[in-house]
Amino acid sequence: MLNLGTDEIIKYPFLAEAKTYLQDKGFTLEQFVDDPDHKFIIDMAYDRIKYAANGKIYPSPYKDNINISSFLPREIFSFIIAVVLLKMSRINILIKKFALSEARRAEKYLEKDLEAKINIHSDNIRNQLEHRINQQELAIKIIKELFLVDIKKDHDHFIIAAQDYLKHAVHFHETEWKLVNRHVYKGFVYLTPHETVRLLRRKIDQYISSRIYSIEIPSIQNSLRYYVNNLTLMAKKFPIPSTSSPGQFPPCIKHTLNMLENGKNLSHSGRFLLATFLLSKKKPIAEILSLFKNAPDYNAKTTLYQINHLAGLSGSRTKYNCPSCQKIKTHNLCFETSECNNISNPLQFKNNNESK
């Protein structure tokens, strides 16, 4: 069990310690839901989901220089009620977007705690140094105990065993995350605070998602039905991804489309595979763009730029090719069936079946 202060509980409301705090103070979920004076907290919970659905991070309602004790119950309950609303709705796309948004929010705080800068012009540098050490140690402990990732501090960097780094970096397609481009010494990879928490976003995302899917819905459903109905309406703006002739696509491409349809966070390698495959099939860029709308971190401007870049229409003007089956296997994206018939590239799948 982590020993968290009130500010840490607000930063990381998905931790079990947050629920324990409420129980110790005698708060119950029912009193917040049934009391008309606390309706604003349900509204906060709904807004928290709305922020996530729009690809934004829920802003913290308090500042570092004020007493946060009065904000603590409403902050924790707004998160818990949001989780209950999402579980009741059973809308995967909203659950995934919420988990990613909360992961990015936690990521911001973890990075700040790992960095823990000191004001050298202040008179209480000693107290700041002690506070900085405590913040960093707690952040490292959260990462280790919650996400089972062992990191250590080495001067201004954080180090992680190379084999552990590779487990997480496999989800990144950018060249800077490749091990050959990292600073490695004695089997450890050196990372900045930002890189450390970015590497863990997927783990945080998965942890929050698991909390939503595993939570037991309390006997307050009728009080929340209005908000659940509104979530159903909210989800209608996310269309079911579709493209022509999906039956002619290889299993790996069908898998990426299925993940997007269910609102799951497709890895960078999966997005690269899908986009380059469809571009090679001469699919319109607008059609390809629409397929990514259900991605939890979807940003139309960024996604359009990336697709244009892969098509050779921007940046270096280099058109990227669909990766080979061998390359796809290294990213755990291969779902080979007998229909694949030993092809070496997904682009051969259609022609291979036509020749039968």
In angstroms, what CA-CA distances link 225 with 42, 234, 276?
Answer: 12, 14, 43
Residue 71 in domain: yes
Take residue 117 and report the two structure tokens written for it: 């800068």
Identify the domain boundary among 234, 260, 286.
Answer: 234
- Looking at the structure, tell me whether residues 228 and 111 fall in a common domain: yes
- Counts for the chain of helices (H) and strands (E), in that order: 17, 4
* Burial class (CB within 10 angstroms; exposed 0-12, middle 13-18, buried 19+) of 33: buried
Same domain as 226, residue 291: no
**DSSP string for 127-186:** HHHHHHHHHHHHHHHHHHHHH---EEEETTEEEEEHHHHHHHHTT--SGGGSGGGS-EET
Looking at residue 163, its pLDDT comes to: 92
Question: How distant, in Å, are the alpha carbons of 76, 151, 249 from that of 60?
Answer: 12, 27, 44
Q: Is residue 186 part of a domain?
A: no
Asked if residue 77 and residue 8 are part of one domain, the reply reads yes
Q: Is residue 48 part of a domain?
A: yes
Domain count, the chain: 2
- Point out the domain boundary residue: 199, 234, 269: 234
Helix (H, G, I), strand (E, B) or coil at 324: coil
Is 7 in the same domain as 115? yes
Asked, for residue 283, whether it belongs to a domain, the answer is: yes
In a domain, 170, yes or no: no
Residues 263 and 303 in one domain: yes
End-of-domain residue from the set 207, 234, 261: 234
Asked if residue 281 and residue 225 are part of one domain, the reply reads: no
Specify the pLDDT at position 243.
61
Q: What is the pLDDT along the chain (356 residues), one digit of tens a residue?
A: 556 667 777 788 887 777 777 777 777 777 767 778 778 888 999 999 999 998 888 887 655 544 555 667 778 888 988 998 999 998 888 998 899 888 888 888 888 888 866 555 555 666 666 666 777 888 888 888 777 888 998 888 999 999 999 988 877 767 788 899 999 999 999 999 999 988 888 888 888 888 888 887 766 667 788 899 999 999 888 766 666 555 688 999 999 998 888 777 788 889 999 999 999 999 999 889 988 887 877 888 889 999 999 999 987 888 999 999 999 998 889 999 988 988 999 999 964 444 44
Whether residue 21 sits in one domain with residue 138: yes
Beta pairing partners, 161: 188
The answer on 266 and 138 residing in a single domain is: no
> How many angstroms separate the Cα of 34 from the Cα of each of 13, 82, 83, 223?
22, 15, 17, 7
| Amino acid (1-letter code) at residue 347 | L
pLDDT at residue 107, as a whole number = 86
Asked whether residue 228 falls in the same domain as residue 83, the answer is: yes
Q: Cα torsion at 83, 87, 89, 94 (round to 10°)?
A: 60
Q: How far apart are CA 331 and CA 64, in angstroms?
A: 42
Residues 132 and 19 in one domain: yes
User: Does some domain include residue 343?
Assistant: yes
| Domain membership of residue 309 as a residue range | 246-354
Q: Is residue 159 part of a domain?
A: no
Per-residue pLDDT, 314: 84
Q: Are residues 76 and 221 in the same domain?
A: yes
Helix 125-147, helix 201-214: angle, nearest 10:
60
Query: Could you tell me if 137 and 87 lie in one domain?
Result: yes
Q: Does a structural domain hold residue 328?
A: yes
